C-alpha cells in the first residue's frame, strides 16, 4: 500500500478514484504547522531559527498520516505545484520525522497541474525530491512577514492608538488605496467645452465631427476652457461651409488576449461576474480539485495560482479542434498561438488557467455545478478558446473636414470603425473593451472635395473628473504591475485590509477608513523605505532568486533585519507631538479640505482663533481645537464640520464626538461617539444617558439625526404575537439585532434592517424560534445523518422552512438548487459546511462549529466536573494575538 498526501478532502476523493486499492489518499487540510502568533517565533539572534507549532486540526491530521504511514511501502507527497504546496509537503515530512515513524520508508514528491487521471498517473511516474530552494523561499517569506508584523505593529500601537497592524505587502497595498484617495481630495475640477457638428453627405446620411483645430493650431480636449470661447466657435460653425479634405481608411487587426493567469482571472471575474478575488479563488479551487460530472469526479480546470500564460501543446490542439467544430475553419488561425511572459518566479511559471478538457463545453457541465461555479467555468473556457482564435479584422476610417468662415479656417474630424471579420470577438471581449466597441461607428461613404451640409452644432460643457478609486480588480492589476505580492497573496492581502478595517467597499470601490489613512501616513513619515513600491518589488525579486537557489535565504534575512531594526530604533524616542505634526502635514488636504470662500480651513469654527489639529485619544484619532479646554470643539477626521458648526460644548467628551442635532421631544443633544467597543449614539449627558450601538455594517459617517433617534427608540414594538397577543419587540443587544416575545429571543438575519423590520418578518422569526427552530429560524426537526466531519462533529441534512440545509454544530448551510436532501453525500456536505464556516470566520468558525457539534454529540452522563480543567487549559493556551499579515 502506498500513502499519498494531498491538501484537501475534495482533491483526495477525486484522486482516490483514479488510483484504486493500491493507494491510500489522505488530506492534510492545508498547512499542518504555523508560527505561533506571539513574540519569539522567529529568533534573529539564533540565526533566524523558527519555532513551528502544530495545533488543533493539524495535530489530528498528522496523527492520521502517521497512522497510515506505518504500514505503507512508500510515502508520496502530492501537494499543490507551487511554493505553498512545496512548503506543506516539507511540513508534513518534518512532522513525521519528529514522530520518527518513517523508519526507512522512501519519500517521493510529485506535482500535477491538473487533477485528471492522465496528469496524476504521469506525475506518479516522474517523482522527485522536495525542492529545498522553494522551501527556503517560503521560509524567508514567512520570516520576513512575521518580523515586519511583530516588530512594526507594537510601534504603531504605542505611537498611533487605534492602529491594528502593519505588514510587508499589506501596508504597501494600503498605501496605493490611500494615495489614490489623497489624489481625489487634492483634485480640482477644470471646465472645458466640446464642439460637435452634425453633418450630412449629399445622399442625406448624417454623422458627427468634432472641432480639432482653428487657424492652423490644434485644439486639444481641454483647450476650450469657458463659455465665451465655446460660443464664439459655435457662432462661427453655424455659418461655415463644410468640405471633406481627406479620407483615410486603414485596415487594423485586434488580437485575442492570452489565457488567464491568477491576476487576470481575478480582475475579469470581478468586472464581469462581480466576484471578490477571494471568492474567485475559492470557486476556482473547487473546480480544480474535482466536481462530480455524471457520476465521475473530475478536475475541471488546471491549477489556479500561476503567472504562466501558455498552454500545453495537446491543449492547444484540442482548442483548435473545438474552434473549427463550433465556429468554423475561418476562425482557426493558420499557426497556433504561443504566449510568453517573463515569470516573476520560476516555481509559479506553470501553464495558464484553462479547462482540463476543452471539449467539455460550459453548457454540458452547467447542470452539475453551482451557479457561481458554472459562470466562472464558462468565463475560463471562453477566454481559453478565444486565445487560440483568429484575430478580428477591422477598418478604421478618419475623415478630415474643413470649415470655412470668411478668412477663418476651422478643422473638424470624424472617426469610425467597421468590423470586417469578428474573429475571437464573436466569443469573448474583455470588460474594458466593451465601451470601446460600443463607440465604434460606421461612417457614410465620402471622398475628398465632397460638400457637406450642416444639420446642427452643439457646444457642451464638461468638467474633468478625479481619478477613480481602486476596485479590487484594478488594485490587483496595479500590484501586479508594480511587482508587489504574488498570485497566492492578492486575495489574502485584500481580505486583510478589510478585516483590519483599514478599507471598506462602497459601490465596488475601495475607500480608505480614517485609521487606514493614519497608518499609511505614519509609515510614510517614519518608515518610508518599507512602504516604497520599488523596495517591496525588489524584495520580491530577491525572494524569487532564493527560490531559484541563486542566493541564501538567511543572508537575505540578515541584510533586511540589520536595516529594519536600525529604523525601528530611530523611533524609540519619538514623541506623540512629533507624530501629530508629521501627520498634519501629510494629511492636510484630507483632514482640512479647502473651503469654498478661501478662508483658512484650520481655523476653529467655534472660537474663531484656535488652530485645528489632529489629536490622538484612547480610542483613536480626532480633530480638536488648540484652545482646549477653553474651547471644546472636536470632530471626526473624515466628517469635516460645516462653517460655523460648533461641536461638544459640554465636556471634552470622547475623541471624535459629533453633534447630530437635538431630540425634539426631550430637547437633549444627540451625539455620535467612539467607545471602547466601537461607535455609539448618546442622548444628552449625565450619569446614565441613553445610548445605542450601531448595527454591524452601518458607517458612523452615514448616521443622520433621524436615524440616530430611530436607534435610540429601540427596543420598540413592531407586532403582536398571533396567539398570545403580547408585544413582539425589536432591539439591538450584546450579540446584535434581535426580536423578543416574552423570554423568547431570535437573532435577526444579516439581510434584515433592524430599523425597517416589519411585523410579518418579526412574527416569522419568533414563531420559528418558539417552534424549535435554531438560529435564523432553522427548524430543528430530525434530519438524515450523513456522517462525521473530519474536524469533528456530526453532519446532518434537515428540512427547513426555506429549503433543505446541512447542519454541523452552529453552522447551517443551505443546499444549492442542484442538490437535494435525498442525494447529498457526506463529501458534498463537508464542502458546504466548510464554505459556510469560512464565510463566518475562517478557522475560528470551523473550530466553533466542531466544538458545538462535538458537545451536542457528547453523552449526557459525562461528569460536568471533568470539563473545567479542559476549559482552563484552553484558556491558558490562548495568548493575546497580534495579528499580522503580509497581505
The kind and range of the H/E element at 297 are strand 296-298
Q: In angstroms, rounded to a whole number, what is the distance separating the alpha carbons of residues 776 and 747?
A: 6
Kindly give, in sequence order, each residue whose CB lies less than 8 Å from that of residue 601, ignoring residues fewer than 6 positions away.
Answer: 592, 593, 594, 595, 612
Q: Are 320 and 336 in contact (CB under 8 A)?
A: yes
Residue 562 grid cell: 540589520
Which residues partner with 603 through β-bridges? 611
- Please list the residues that pair with 683 across neighbouring strands: 670, 690
What long-range pairs does 102-109 form, CB within 8 A, spacing at least 24?
102/69, 102/75, 105/69, 105/72, 105/73, 105/74, 105/75, 106/74, 106/75, 107/74, 107/75, 107/76, 107/77, 108/74, 108/75, 108/76, 108/77, 109/76, 109/77, 109/78
Burial tier of 295 (Cβ tally within 10 Å: 0-12, 13-18, 19+)? exposed
DSSP state of 175: H
Q: Which residue in this structure is represented by grid cell 454544530?
A: 809
Residue appearing with cell numbers 460645516 = 642
Q: Are strands 451-463 and 191-200 parallel, antiparallel or unpaired?
A: antiparallel
The span from the CA of 163 to the CA of 501, in Å, is 10
According to DSSP, the β-strands at 74-77 and 107-109 are parallel
Q: What is the DSSP string of 659-727?
A: EEEE-TTT--EEEEEEETTEEEEEES-SSS-EEEEPPTT--GGG--HHHHHHHHT-SEEEEE-TTT--E
CB neighbours (10 Å) of residue 803?
12
Distances (CA, A) of 393 to 252, 331, 433, 851: 6, 11, 15, 62
Catalytic residue list: 303
Q: CA 59 to CA 95: how far, in whole Å?
A: 10
**Cell reading at 535:** 523596495
End-to-end CA distance of the chain: 41
* Residues forming a β-bridge with 784: 797
Q: Which of 805, 799, 811, 802 lies closest to 854 in space, CA to CA?
A: 811
* Alpha carbons 18 and 16: distance in angstroms, whole number: 5
Burial of 808 (0-12, 13-18, 19+ CB in 10 A): buried
Separation between Cα atoms, residue 522 and residue 525, nearest integer Å: 5
Reported residue count of the chain is: 887
What distance in Å separates the CA atoms of residue 168 and residue 884, rounded to the nearest whole number? 9
Between CA 280 and CA 379 the distance in angstroms is 11
Amino acid at each position: 500500500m502506498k500513502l499519498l498526501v494531498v491538501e484537501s478532502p475534495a482533491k483526495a476523493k477525486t484522486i482516490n478514484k483514479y488510483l484504486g486499492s493500491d493507494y491510500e489518499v489522505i488530506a492534510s487540510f492545508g498547512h499542518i504547522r504555523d508560527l505561533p502568533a506571539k513574540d519569539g517565533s522567529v529568533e534573529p539572534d539564533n540565526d533566524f531559527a523558527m519555532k513551528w507549532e502544530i495545533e488543533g486540526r493539524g495535530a489530528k491530521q498528522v496523527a492520521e498520516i502517521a497512522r497510515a504511514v506505518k504500514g505503507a511501502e512508500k510515502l508520496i507527497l502530492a501537494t499543490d505545484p507551487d511554493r505553498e504546496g512545496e512548503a506543506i509537503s516539507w511540513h508534513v515530512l518534518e512532522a513525521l520525522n519528529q514522530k520518527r515513524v518513517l523508519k526507512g520508508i522512501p519519500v517521493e514528491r510529485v506535482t500535477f497541474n491538473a487533477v485528471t487521471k492522465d496528469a496524476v498517473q504521469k506525475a506518479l511516474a516522474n517523482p522527485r525530491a522536495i525542492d529545498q530552494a522553494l522551501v527556503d523561499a517560503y521560509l524567508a517569506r514567512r520570516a520576513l512577514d512575521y518580523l515586519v508584523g511583530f516588530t512594526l505593529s507594537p510601534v504603531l500601537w504605542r505611537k498611533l492608538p487605534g492602529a491594528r497592524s502593519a505588514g510587508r505587502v499589506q501596508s504597501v497595498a494600503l498605501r496605493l488605496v490611500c494615495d489614490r484617495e489623497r489624489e481625489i481630495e487634492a483634485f480640482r475640477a477644470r471646465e472645458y467645452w466640446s464642439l460637435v457638428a452634425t453633418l450630412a453627405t449629399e445622399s442625406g446620411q448624417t454623422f458627427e465631427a468634432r472641432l480639432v483645430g482653428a487657424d492652423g493650431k490644434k485644439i486639444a480636449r481641454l483647450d476650450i476652457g469657458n463659455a465665451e470661447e465655446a460660443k464664439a466657435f459655435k457662432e462661427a460653425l453655424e455659418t461655415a461651409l463644410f468640405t471633406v479634405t481627406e479620407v483615410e481608411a486603414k485596415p487594423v487587426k485586434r488580437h485575442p488576449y492570452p489565457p488567464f493567469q491568477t491576476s487576470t482571472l481575478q480582475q475579469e471575474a470581478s468586472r464581469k461576474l462581480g466576484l471578490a478575488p477571494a471568492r474567485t479563488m475559492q470557486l476556482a479551487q473547487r473546480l480544480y480539485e474535482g466536481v462530480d460530472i455524471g457520476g465521475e469526479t473530475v478536475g475541471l480546470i488546471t491549477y489556479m495560482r500561476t503567472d504562466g500564460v501558455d498552454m500545453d501543446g495537446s491543449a492547444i490542439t484540442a482548442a483548435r479542434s473545438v474552434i473549427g467544430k463550433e465556429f468554423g475553419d475561418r476562425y482557426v488561425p493558420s499557426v497556433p498561438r504561443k504566449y510568453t511572459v517573463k515569470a516573476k518566479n520560476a516555481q509559479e511559471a506553470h501553464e495558464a488557467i484553462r479547462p482540463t478538457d476543452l471539449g467539455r463545453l460550459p453548457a454540458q457541465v452547467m447542470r452539475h455545478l453551482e451557479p457561481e461555479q458554472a459562470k466562472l467555468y464558462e468565463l475560463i473556457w471562453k477566454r481559453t478558446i478565444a486565445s487560440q482564435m483568429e484575430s478580428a479584422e477591422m477598418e478604421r476610417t478618419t475623415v478630415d473636414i474643413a470649415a470655412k468662415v470668411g478668412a477663418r479656417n476651422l478643422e473638424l474630424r470624424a472617426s469610425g470603425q467597421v468590423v470586417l471579420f469578428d474573429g475571437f470577438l464573436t466569443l469573448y471581449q474583455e470588460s474594458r473593451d466593451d465601451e470601446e466597441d460600443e463607440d465604434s461607428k460606421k461612417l457614410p461613404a465620402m471622398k475628398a472635395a465632397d460638400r457637406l451640409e450642416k444639420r446642427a452644432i452643439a457646444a457642451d460643457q464638461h468638467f474633468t473628473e478625479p481619478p477613480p478609486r481602486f476596485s479590487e480588480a484594478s488594485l490587483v492589476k496595479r500590484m501586479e504591475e508594480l511587482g508587489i505580492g504574488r498570485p497566492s497573496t492578492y486575495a489574502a492581502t485584500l481580505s486583510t485590509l478589510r478585516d483590519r478595517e483599514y478599507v471598506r467597499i462602497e459601490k465596488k470601490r475601495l475607500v480608505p477608513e480614517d485609521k487606514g489613512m493614519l497608518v499609511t501616513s505614519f509609515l510614510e513619515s517614519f518608515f518610508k523605505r518599507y512602504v516604497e513600491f520599488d523596495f517591496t518589488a525588489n524584495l520580491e525579486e530577491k525572494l524569487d532568486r532564493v527560490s531559484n537557489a541563486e542566493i541564501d535565504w538567511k543572508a537575505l534575512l540578515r541584510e533586511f533585519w540589520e536595516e529594519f531594526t536600525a529604523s525601528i530604533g530611530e523611533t524609540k524616542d519619538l514623541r506623540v507631538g512629533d507624530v501629530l505634526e508629521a501627520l498634519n502635514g501629510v494629511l492636510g488636504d484630507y483632514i482640512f479640505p479647502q473651503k469654498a470662500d478661501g478662508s483658512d480651513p484650520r481655523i476653529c469654527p467655534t472660537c474663531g482663533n484656535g488652530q485645528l489639529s489632529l489629536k490622538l485619544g484612547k480610542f483613536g484619532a480626532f480633530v480638536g481645537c488648540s484652545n482646549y479646554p477653553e474651547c471644546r470643539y472636536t470632530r471626526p477626521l473624515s466628517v469635516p464640520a460645516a462653517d460655523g458648526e460648533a461641536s461638544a460644548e459640554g465636556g471634552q467628551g470622547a475623541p471624535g464626538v459629533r453633534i447630530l442635532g437635538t431630540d425634539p421631544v426631550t430637547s437633549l443633544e444627540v451625539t455620535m461617539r467612539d467607545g471602547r467597543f466601537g461607535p455609539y449614539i448618546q442622548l444628552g449627558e449625565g450619569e446614565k444617558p441613553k445610548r445605542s450601538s450601531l448595527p454591524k455594517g452601518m458607517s458612523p459617517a452615514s448616521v443622520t439625526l433621524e436615524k440616530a433617534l430611530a436607534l435610540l427608540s429601540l427596543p420598540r414594538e413592531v407586532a403582536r404575537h398571533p396567539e398570545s397577543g403580547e408585544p413582539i419587540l425589536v432591539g439591538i443587544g450584546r450579540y446584535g439585532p434581535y426580536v423578543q416575545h416574552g423570554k423568547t429571543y431570535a437573532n435577526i438575519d444579516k439581510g434584515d434592517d433592524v430599523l425597517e423590520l416589519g411585523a410579518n418578518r418579526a412574527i416569522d422569526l419568533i414563531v420559528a424560534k418558539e417552534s424549535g427552530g435554531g438560529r435564523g429560524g432553522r427548524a430543528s426537526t430530525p434530519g438524515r445523518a450523513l456522517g462525521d466531519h473530519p474536524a469533528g462533529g456530526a453532519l446532518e441534512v434537515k428540512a427547513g422552512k426555506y429549503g433543505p440545509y446541512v447542519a454541523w454544530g452552529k453552522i447551517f448551510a443551505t443546499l444549492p438548487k442542484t442538490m437535494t436532501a435525498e442525494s447529498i453525500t457526506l463529501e458534498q456536505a463537508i464542502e458546504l459546511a466548510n464554505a459556510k464556516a469560512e464565510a463566518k470566520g475562517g478557522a475560528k468558525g470551523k473550530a466553533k462549529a466542531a466544538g458545538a457539534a462535538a458537545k451536542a454529540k457528547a453523552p449526557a452522563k459525562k461528569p460536568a466536573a471533568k470539563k473545567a480543567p479542559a476549559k482552563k487549559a484552553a484558556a491558558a493556551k490562548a495568548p493575546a494575538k497580534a495579528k499580522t499579515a503580509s497581505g
